[in-house]
Amino acid sequence: MIPLLNASGCLDALTAPEVAQSLDAFVTKTVTPLPREGNPPLRFAETESGMLNSIGLQNPGIESFVAENVPLLAQLDVPLWVSVGGFSAADYALMCGRLDDSDEVAVIELNLSCPNVEEAPETAAELVASARAATRKPLYAKLSPATWDIAESARAVADAGADGLSLINTIRGLAIERASPRPALARGAGGYSGPALKPIALACVWACAAAVDLPILGMGGVFTSEDAADFVSAGASAVALGTALFADPWSPRRIRAALAAMDAPEVIAGGGIRHVPTTSREL
């Protein structure tokens, strides 16, 4: 069976614990070294075939997260992946070092590609190398589709010590509020997700699967069991749900049931599914 996770930022496990417990692992919203209020509203906008968001990494900061959120999330009894972000290599090292001794954290996902905040000056490979030096935990590098050769990026982060890839993050988009007429989001552009992202995501998974021998968490427009199977056929080892969780919080159960009924074991096995890490030592 294809492992199902959530895309970072698309599910609040403490508000909807039953939904989180229907997943094979839960991925937190991105945490940064210091608390962030995020971008000003409006921060969400629907489009004809997807959704724009400009949250801006709103979060309580790593110290509050470790002290308050991690113990509560551990009670869900679901493998915990923590998404971390920052604005320098030192930030990523600090975050990973802070999480290294936490037995509750199975995997650290490095958010290297948020379109709604300023980026770190270092390359993705340099950020991964800094994180790798600070932790023994499995590291998944979340890459942006907004690059000419994502396979080159995959090879670079693999050489720097990444244990897996998360593909893909949202891509920058804009919607116009025609009555104004002004951008629908207060910040202007935001991260675009939803069904229209799927062909882009599949192309990225396909290219990276051919370039590196790393497990890939595929995401981008997954709404059905067929979507999930397509990602595995392209080379993903597991699949994450994003925008689908806003429209249908119980989509993991629906998709899992449909996958179980699919008469296509060769398709499901064809992507070389690997075990989703449940502890910090499994990779």
Residues 265-281 have pLDDT tens digits of 444 333 334 455 654 33
3-class state of residue 91 by DSSP: helix
**Rounded (5°) CA angle 165-230-173:** 65
Percent of the chain at pLDDT above 90? 85
Give yes or no: 208 in active site: no
Does residue 282 surpass a pLDDT of 90? no
pLDDT at 1 over 90: no
Q: pLDDT tens for residues 76-86?
A: 999 999 999 99
Q: Is the pLDDT of residue 28 over 90?
A: yes
Q: What is the mean pLDDT of the chain?
A: 91
Asked if 10 and 243 count as a contact pair (C-beta separation under 8 A), the reply is yes
Distance CA 154, CA 210 (A): 10
Which domains, and CATH codes, for the chain?
4-270 (3.20.20.70)
| φ/ψ bin of 77: left (φ > 0), alpha (ψ from -120 to 50), beta (otherwise) | left
Report how far Cα 89 is from the mean position of its chain's Cα atoms.
19
- The gap from C-alpha 16 to its chain's centroid, in whole angstroms, comes to 18
Among 256, 250, 248, 247, residue whose Cα is nearest residue 227: 256
Catalytic: which of 96, 114, 204, 208? 114
Please name the residue that has the structure tokens 């320098």: 88
The per-residue pLDDT for range 140-159, each reduced to its tens digit, is 999 999 988 999 999 999 99
Predicted confidence (pLDDT) per residue in 51-63, tens digit:
999 999 999 999 9
Average pLDDT over residues 20-40: 96
pLDDT of residue 152: 96
Contact of 99 with 66, CB cutoff 8 Å: yes
d(CA 43, CA 255): 28
pLDDT above 60 for 122: yes
Tell me: pLDDT of 164 over 80: yes
Higher pLDDT, 267 or 219: 219
pLDDT of residue 277: 61
- Residue 43 pLDDT > 60: yes
- Mean pLDDT, range 245-263, rounded to an integer: 92
Whether the predicted pLDDT of 98 surpasses 70: yes
Res 121: pLDDT: 84
